[in-house]
Chains A and B, each alone.
Chain A
């Protein structure tokens, strides 16, 4: 019996030692994972690309901002309620139940915010020459995403932490579970202050210019222009003026003239001397129809093109979405070169009609026929988005100086006008102009039309109600049927439509119907 037992024990030991090692199942994935990264400069640079990538998703922001303005009509398929969320935004009848583009802006801007925070969370892991500059770019990008969120949704939720004795936007990711304890910032001005802090920290570490191999990277001028813009939204005109003048005084940027201007929004005009900050898109990577924002190209130009049949030698057909209103077209003088740069007006019958057809299309973002693409059926184009142009900087500076009685306002305004009219025929004050600020506002509308700024300019200057009323009056003056007039008018509600609703599904997903609450009026 003893012998038998010994054998059993021996065999058992053998069996259990043959393979017995718990570490057998410790397989570390070959690929880098989120927690063991940031071991070299290259890894910081790679993660930074991941943050830049999110900029490309802002094409939805531009499309929604377009639609929301008084200059652009949702359009699309005339026979259906094409892109219903855009249609409702167009008439300001959207609600928290509208997901699509509004939810995408919410999700994608927070995704950008989180990708930036991922780098910042590991800021101190590995040291290398030039890390400050990498971190400065991340601060810029995070500010850009949060600024977008605040423009669309107001005082969105953010996390704060104490750094060096001051309360700052937290440099840590929002991890699963955190969404339930995430709180809205008390005011949008608080957000502006926080972004200002970040940009002030970043600016000294950014270079004035970039070599051609790094065109895509943020410069000092871009950060100063964004800071100036945020000051403007914050109505801190003094600071805005200082910051924007730094950009102007740097001498890095200029308004492009002549044919460079008429081609400014073509491929040849990308990253020009006028470009302060530009979001880069490429057409060389293939399409992903199922995830338009996963493309490395811009899908907005495909939407903007006139609908088929559109027999045109220069431009490709599109979907006739976000068409230019006739009201905007009429704002331009015929001698204004900007009308031809901003608006494509094909002959009647040379294009397929859009819903609420105007016959005018946003020429700044169209697909050129000879533009190379990677497949026969693309939705992903190379058209860069000119986020901050020097003309924008000049007009913002003019506005800030006008608000504070600075001396350069008229000069800056006239620089823009001189280019538009190819000379000094319209210098301020022209033809009885007396209100400098109003003139600057109007110039912004004409100069920056079709670039996504109009709606936010109206909101920040308190001119929205006035502008939409004017638009509705224009609709009334048109020879449409009464039924159409009702359909075409925009129901902007003061105290509500200045911002968009937080999508209901997002309130639900964060269990925040109570804690965040919905934006006023929705």
Chain B
């Protein structure tokens, strides 16, 4: 009925303005922000009294004359003028009027206009996300907003990404709090980027409204909603494309080069030549095989990397009636991997429904529901046994396939270290799938009791099931090779092929109630007061089973069913004792009270203060509750008389914030010692692991006084707009000091923490400081009717310094280097960045023995009076280690800072323009000052190496950078030195997109309101000196030990063709 009435009105309006004049213009008015048609926009003929308004679909018709100027206006949007030529159709996109600064910013339990904001908040809207076509939302944040850095653990499809807001402030969990429509969503892979309306990043202490959860910053994501009184709008967005590896490592792929390297290393390691090269033809033969010289080489990277397809389709329906607005979306993405195609493939289906219903004029109901189903296939990644590590190290004389009848079908390397196997065999014999089924919902009621007083209650929940299916077939990778699974009669149980099915359930709910009181006194004093409570509970329940030895020698993935496993070979994932000990489940809770007062005087002087009291079940009775205050102020200087209507500066705001935020992202039950240590003994009469004597012992030692980490954060910022808002600049200086970091340091052996299953207590003993400067400038202007330009540039500096580590040793260690050598790479220590690389400094290469002898002269004599040696076992061609403590010899005491994985500077550049129907957008990201440890090279005689070793020191090539090749023990390769640390700074063209939007008039014939086609490329080009696959990867795990490259799965280079279609 309502629609019908509006329709009548519109028809009347339109028909009454028609008079028999020269030219009739028709068109549509669309909002640039969300592509929705604008209802009720005014169209006026300049200088004349005539005009019209747009209808329910944003359509309008007006009769005018050539040479007239049409002026399009709508409240809150910038007006536009068009000179009438001979066109009959004019589509106008209106941009929201930032001059009014009415743009809404979500700040937690409420919104503010941009003008009122006093905190450091970055906003990313759906337009910006759309331009980047991200598979995951995190990819859209990289380079778009200042102060946010995204790094990856892997470039494989569906892999998680790390978000770091203003640096790493803890040795524990540095993830920010992520809220989707207020609901805590830890894993952003379940969200379809197309569903997002806006992303707001709270970077400073104003995030303190979230109390103990907010120390690492808060990301608020709002999903799209419908609009009341709007017709159903259907959008279809789809793209298809292909991906390829963004990089191949520059490996030796010449027969002669490889053979010479092996021989060289062998001879230097007191061995003999392994291959005899024939100089004339550069062919190589084994000593014993003159008849069949090796004359071909396998490029393993070529055989491992493939061109992989990607496709994505997204459909959404939005609209609303007088009381109801709705939005429904569904999407499907299918991405195969550049390694192993489907074997590392990713599929995701999402559906989303959002409803808002005004039950009464002052009572609104809202709900959202998101369902996600994703499947990810996993290949082994990183280090020993992984595909890429093997591809980088396997000797190139091995062929990919082997057609011999008695072989396993794959070329088998007989000479390489046992962990390096045929990577194609790994791919083809890996069956590892994880699936996530997740449903998230929110329900909300808001009730405006009286004008200015609003009551909100919100209930939110997530339910996720994570399913893992793994099948390990009986397969022989070669005699003695890792991963080989045999059927051996002497092996009791853990042999034969195996099946694992695990299911993990994660459930959480959150219930929040708050009242907001908002009033204006004397037309000058604006006051908003918020009071609220929140309870959160998160639970997990894990189960699963595994089985061994499929009957009748079944060994294919098709037969990988528990039905074929002998029942006695099926074991539950958790036995009764583990279930009794609670190993299969967790629960944690949070109870909070919070309040915020916001005051401003004529929107000129702004003040906001937050207090929050949190109680967390993760802490013991002594420290269960914490109190987190913060405050911020702002001054809209441009509201002052002296700056009002200034022709240059159109807007100026100064703001500052200070506060304390907590962090409870720590493990459960650290205030109490659980009896989950290992206690297994035997009466020597068992036939089965189930029969051994199982007792109880203390696990991790307790620390009843444990408390949260607290971050004191200060921020001073300025927002500036020039030239009628065409140019905007924002700058922030911040300092974040995190104290009482939770540290699990080595403790004295007398405490017994080394017992099996035990661990040292976690204590609050560390301080970390992050300081930085953030700058954002953007220029956005219509240079003509046909040409609009937007450029934005941002950079962030970061200085990370550990101020204190309270372990007895004064440092914490982590990160591993090389295989099985127990070498650690990284430390957290006062005065240096968290997770800095700790090893030997080198300075060139010893060119001759005289150089070594000269250093030995000053070395201290040994205890038994032998003459001193500067650096034991060093020969010409070896790395020259630096005696940093100047005691005349190289000892472990000489290890020092040799780099760190934290970039000092990150930058983003975005450039876009629209010219007539063509739009162009490009974005680039740069990271400067991050170092990476090259650890993807196996220390083995036959391992292939990068071509850089061709410049190694030999008696004839006196290199001063690359040491001689040595097989076996060698100072060069047995120690972690800066020889392995590379500068991983990089600049990456993240995205280039060119689009073409068809004329409205053309497509309206097929009843479309929008049709845009585009071509886009992601990660097209990376400029870096780093030799490995991906300088943007840092690996998973904690901050101490990140940036050690064991063969990261590279980010893919993607080419897409896509379409956006609305009707």
Partner of A372, one of B449, B490, B582: B490
B674-A32 in contact (CB<8A) = yes
Chain B contacts for A107, CB-based, 8 A: 749, 752-754
Tell me the bound Cα distance from A393 to B534 in angstroms: 70
Return B816 CB to nearest CB of chain A, in Å.
Answer: 11
Chain A contacts for B969, CB-based, 8 A: 80-81
Partner of A7, one of B449, B677, B692, B763: B449
Tell me the bound Cα distance from A35 to B671 in angstroms: 12
Tell me the bound Cα distance from A35 to B449 in angstroms: 51
A4-B453 in contact (CB<8A) = yes
Return B69 CB to nearest CB of chain A, in Å.
Answer: 51
Chain B contacts for A215, CB-based, 8 A: 683-685
B515's nearest neighbour on chain A, judged by CB, is: A11
Asked whether any CB of chain A lies closer than 8 Å to the CB of B916, the reply is: no
Partner of B755, one of A43, A54, A506: A54
A100's nearest neighbour on chain B, judged by CB, is: B822
Tell me the bound Cα distance from A31 to B808 in angstroms: 31
- A-B contacts counted at CB < 8 A amount to 280
Chain A contacts for B582, CB-based, 8 A: 29-31
Return A169 CB to nearest CB of chain B, in Å.
Answer: 13
B453-A214 in contact (CB<8A) = no
B587-A27 in contact (CB<8A) = yes
Chain A contacts for B593, CB-based, 8 A: 16, 20
Return A387 CB to nearest CB of chain B, in Å.
Answer: 14
The stretch that binds B, out of A284-292, A403-411, A441-449, is A284-292
Chain B contacts for A12, CB-based, 8 A: 515, 531
Asked whether any CB of chain B lies closer than 8 Å to the CB of A224, the reply is: no
Partner of B488, one of A4, A30, A56, A376: A376
The stretch that binds B, out of A330-338, A353-361, A508-516, is A508-516
Chain A contacts for B686, CB-based, 8 A: 282, 284
- Which of B940-989 touch A at CB < 8 Å? 968-969
Asked whether any CB of chain A lies closer than 8 Å to the CB of B86, the reply is: no
- Which of A257-296 touch B at CB < 8 Å? 270-271, 280-286, 291, 293-294, 296
Return B320 CB to nearest CB of chain A, in Å.
Answer: 29
Asked whether any CB of chain A lies closer than 8 Å to the CB of B624, the reply is: yes
A29's nearest neighbour on chain B, judged by CB, is: B669
Asked whether any CB of chain B lies closer than 8 Å to the CB of A50, the reply is: yes
A34's nearest neighbour on chain B, judged by CB, is: B673
B529's nearest neighbour on chain A, judged by CB, is: A8
Chain B contacts for A106, CB-based, 8 A: 749
B698-A21 in contact (CB<8A) = no
B684-A376 in contact (CB<8A) = no
Return B607 CB to nearest CB of chain A, in Å.
Answer: 21
Chain B contacts for A45, CB-based, 8 A: 695
B808-A291 in contact (CB<8A) = no
Asked whether any CB of chain B lies closer than 8 Å to the CB of A79, the reply is: yes
- Which of A372-386 touch B at CB < 8 Å? 372-376, 382, 384
Chain A contacts for B515, CB-based, 8 A: 8, 11-12, 15
Chain B contacts for A108, CB-based, 8 A: 754-755
Chain A contacts for B524, CB-based, 8 A: none
Partner of B695, one of A7, A8, A53, A511: A53
Partner of A374, one of B457, B493, B591, B701: B493
B692-A50 in contact (CB<8A) = no
Asked whether any CB of chain A lies closer than 8 Å to the CB of B197, the reply is: no
A291-B698 in contact (CB<8A) = no
A11-B449 in contact (CB<8A) = yes
Chain A, 494-515, contact with B by CB distance < 8 Å: what is the 0/1 string?
Answer: 0000000000011011110000
Return B520 CB to nearest CB of chain A, in Å.
Answer: 15
Tell me the bound Cα distance from A57 to B490 in angstroms: 26
Return B297 CB to nearest CB of chain A, in Å.
Answer: 29
Instruction: Knowing A115-B697, A372-B491 are in contact, say whether A22-B615 is a contact too (CB < 8 A).
Output: yes
Asked whether any CB of chain B lies closer than 8 Å to the CB of A24, the reply is: yes
Asked whether any CB of chain B lies closer than 8 Å to the CB of A111, the reply is: yes
Chain B, 729-759, contact with A by CB distance < 8 Å: what is the 0/1 string?
Answer: 0000000000000000011111111111110
Chain B contacts for A104, CB-based, 8 A: 754
Instruction: Knowing A35-B672, A50-B677 are in contact, say whether A25-B492 is a contact too (CB < 8 A).
Output: no
B617-A27 in contact (CB<8A) = yes
Chain B contacts for A374, CB-based, 8 A: 491-494, 689
Sorting the interface of chain A by its residue count into under 10, 10 to 19, 20 to 34 or 35 or more gives 35 or more
Asked whether any CB of chain B lies closer than 8 Å to the CB of A114, the reply is: yes
Asked whether any CB of chain A lies closer than 8 Å to the CB of B696, the reply is: yes
B585-A30 in contact (CB<8A) = yes
B589-A79 in contact (CB<8A) = no
Tell me the bound Cα distance from A103 to B675 in angstroms: 25
The stretch that binds B, out of A171-179, A187-195, A474-482, is A171-179
Asked whether any CB of chain B lies closer than 8 Å to the CB of A436, the reply is: no
A95's nearest neighbour on chain B, judged by CB, is: B863
Partner of A284, one of B492, B535, B753, B761: B492
Asked whether any CB of chain A lies closer than 8 Å to the CB of B75, the reply is: no
Tell me the bound Cα distance from A103 to B694 in angstroms: 27
Asked whether any CB of chain A lies closer than 8 Å to the CB of B279, the reply is: no
Asked whether any CB of chain B lies closer than 8 Å to the CB of A370, the reply is: yes
Partner of A286, one of B678, B689, B703, B747: B689
Chain B contacts for A22, CB-based, 8 A: 591, 615, 624-625
Asked whether any CB of chain A lies closer than 8 Å to the CB of B373, the reply is: no
A382's nearest neighbour on chain B, judged by CB, is: B684
Chain A contacts for B587, CB-based, 8 A: 27
Asked whether any CB of chain B lies closer than 8 Å to the CB of A46, the reply is: yes
B513-A18 in contact (CB<8A) = yes
Chain A contacts for B517, CB-based, 8 A: 8
A37-B681 in contact (CB<8A) = no
A19-B591 in contact (CB<8A) = yes
Asked whether any CB of chain A lies closer than 8 Å to the CB of B495, the reply is: yes
Chain A contacts for B450, CB-based, 8 A: 4, 7
Return B818 CB to nearest CB of chain A, in Å.
Answer: 14
Return A318 CB to nearest CB of chain B, in Å.
Answer: 15
Asked whether any CB of chain A lies closer than 8 Å to the CB of B218, the reply is: no
B674-A179 in contact (CB<8A) = no
B591-A509 in contact (CB<8A) = no
Asked whether any CB of chain B lies closer than 8 Å to the CB of A216, the reply is: yes
Chain B contacts for A53, CB-based, 8 A: 678-681, 695, 697, 755-756
Return B972 CB to nearest CB of chain A, in Å.
Answer: 15
Asked whether any CB of chain A lies closer than 8 Å to the CB of B590, the reply is: yes
A375-B751 in contact (CB<8A) = no
Chain A contacts for B591, CB-based, 8 A: 19-22, 24-25
Asked whether any CB of chain A lies closer than 8 Å to the CB of B616, the reply is: yes
Chain A contacts for B494, CB-based, 8 A: 286, 374-376
B746's nearest neighbour on chain A, judged by CB, is: A509
A50-B685 in contact (CB<8A) = no
- Which of A454-469 touch B at CB < 8 Å? none
B588-A79 in contact (CB<8A) = no
Asked whether any CB of chain B lies closer than 8 Å to the CB of A213, the reply is: yes
Return B724 CB to nearest CB of chain A, in Å.
Answer: 43
Tell me the bound Cα distance from A20 to B675 in angstroms: 32
Partner of B533, one of A20, A54, A212, A376: A20
Tell me the bound Cα distance from A104 to B749 in angstroms: 9
Return B629 CB to nearest CB of chain A, in Å.
Answer: 19
Asked whether any CB of chain B lies closer than 8 Å to the CB of A48, the reply is: yes
A25-B749 in contact (CB<8A) = no
Since A11-B449, A283-B492 are in contact, a sample of 8 more A-B pairs with Cβ atoms closer than 8 Å, ordered by chain A residue number, is A18-B511, A33-B673, A111-B749, A118-B698, A179-B748, A215-B683, A369-B490, A506-B748
**21 sampled A-B residue pairs with Cβ under 8 A:** A8-B517, A12-B531, A15-B531, A20-B533, A26-B621, A29-B668, A33-B674, A37-B696, A47-B697, A49-B696, A108-B755, A215-B685, A216-B693, A281-B682, A284-B687, A284-B689, A294-B757, A374-B689, A376-B484, A505-B809, A510-B750
Sorted nearest first, the 5 A-B pairs with minimum C-beta distance are A49-B695, A114-B752, A50-B697, A107-B749, A50-B679
**A-side interface residues toward B, CB under 8 Å?**
4, 7-8, 11-12, 14-16, 18-22, 24-27, 29-35, 37, 43, 45-50, 52-57, 79-81, 103-104, 106-108, 110-115, 118, 157, 173-176, 178-179, 182, 212-216, 270-271, 280-286, 291, 293-294, 296, 369-376, 382, 384, 505-506, 508-511
